[in-house]
Homo-oligomer: A and B are copies of this chain.
Amino acid sequence: MTTIRDVAEKAGVATMTVSRVINDSGYVSEETRAKVEAAILELGYVPNMLGPSLRFNQTKTLALIITDITNPFWTTVARGAEDAAREEQYNVILCNTDESAEKQDQYVDMLLKRRTDGILLVPASDSPEAVKLMRSQDVAVVILDRRLSDVDSIDSVRSDSFGGAYTLARHLTDLGHEHIAILSGPRNISTSVERVEGFTQAMLDAGLPHNLERVFWGEYNESIGFDSAWRALRQEPRPTALLAANNFIANGALRALAQAGLTVPADVSIVSFDDFPENINPSPFLTVVAQPAYEMGYRAAQLLLARLAGNGSEDFQEIILPTTLVMRKSTAPPKSAGVWTASSVL
């Protein structure tokens, strides 16, 4: 391996002079510079960042710990974080936990050992342990997407889960739906909880009873989405509308509806959190509340980088981004409502 010493020797100068040429720092005569550059080229010298990293305890590396790399929502977040990092010459290590707290803790451990400068964390559980550990070392941390109940005074970026769920539920109640089931994520993840709360509030505001049996806790994946929907559709009276707490749950629900021989929206309406980008879904059909995924990643990384540069604000920041309702073709007034109206007219 070629080192800075080899280059110095070949160019007949000291290592410091080579360092000055590489980093464009300090004074170097044109003549010397040319000699050094020739030597670098000839030897194919590539500087070793590990030296400075060790010396200055700065790796120019961020990590993004997400819960599901197969979900386009998260890869979009990753793109945002990546773009922000690139602007400051930082690189991003992407870590995928599959919603496993154990995997998450393994990653955190590894990242600390590598002296990663900052970590963007989507917590796989509500436990504050990981954050406490990171804080005890000198890593900058931004919590992404989810809230941690036992941690305060921490930078965080998420979108408005309560508001998004309220909007979706309100859309359904406005259409006349009274029997609505929510297919949510885990009980111990703040986004799931807040989406259930938004749903509940909308039901109450519409003067409808809040029935706990219409709340299906589960996980943010297709398979559990299918199960939850399947159970919901066997309730009496059958729900006339479903609210899925994320895109994969919605897909599971769609599969359940198809398997049950029910048509959307004629038999059952369905709405969901999270949109799929057009390149992935060429004929979008679901009415959804879209989260600003790219912006979430971008803003979170920016916040982290500001901390690392020492020019963040004094106080911790809590950034909550708005969601956007995208109306499409998966909702209609409930059949029963129509029937009931007609018969009541007679």
Contact = CB atoms under 8 A, between A and B. Distances in A.
B278 A222 contact: yes
A312 to B, nearest CB: 21
Number of copies of this protein chain within its complex: 2
A53 interface: yes
Contacts of A283: 254-255, 258
Interface string A277-298: 1111111000000000000000
A76 interface: yes
Given A70-B75, A70-B279, A82-B96, A115 B251 contact: no
A51 interface: yes
B222 A251 contact: no
A48 interface: yes
A15 interface: no
A40 interface: no
Contacts of A69: 75, 78-79
A286 to B, nearest CB: 10
Contacts of A51: 54
Contacts of A70: 72, 75-76, 79, 277, 279-280
Best-surrounded residue of A57, A91, A223 (most CB of chain B within 10 A): A91
Interface stretch (A106-114, A183-191, A316-324): A106-114
A137 interface: yes
Interface in A6-31: none
Contacts of A248: 279
For the complex of A and B, 4 pairs with smallest distance between CB atoms: A222-B279, A251-B282, A254-B282, A50-B54
Interface of A: 1, 44, 46-51, 53-54, 57, 59, 69-72, 75-76, 78-79, 82, 91, 93-94, 96, 109-110, 112-115, 136-138, 221-223, 248, 251-252, 254-255, 258, 276-283
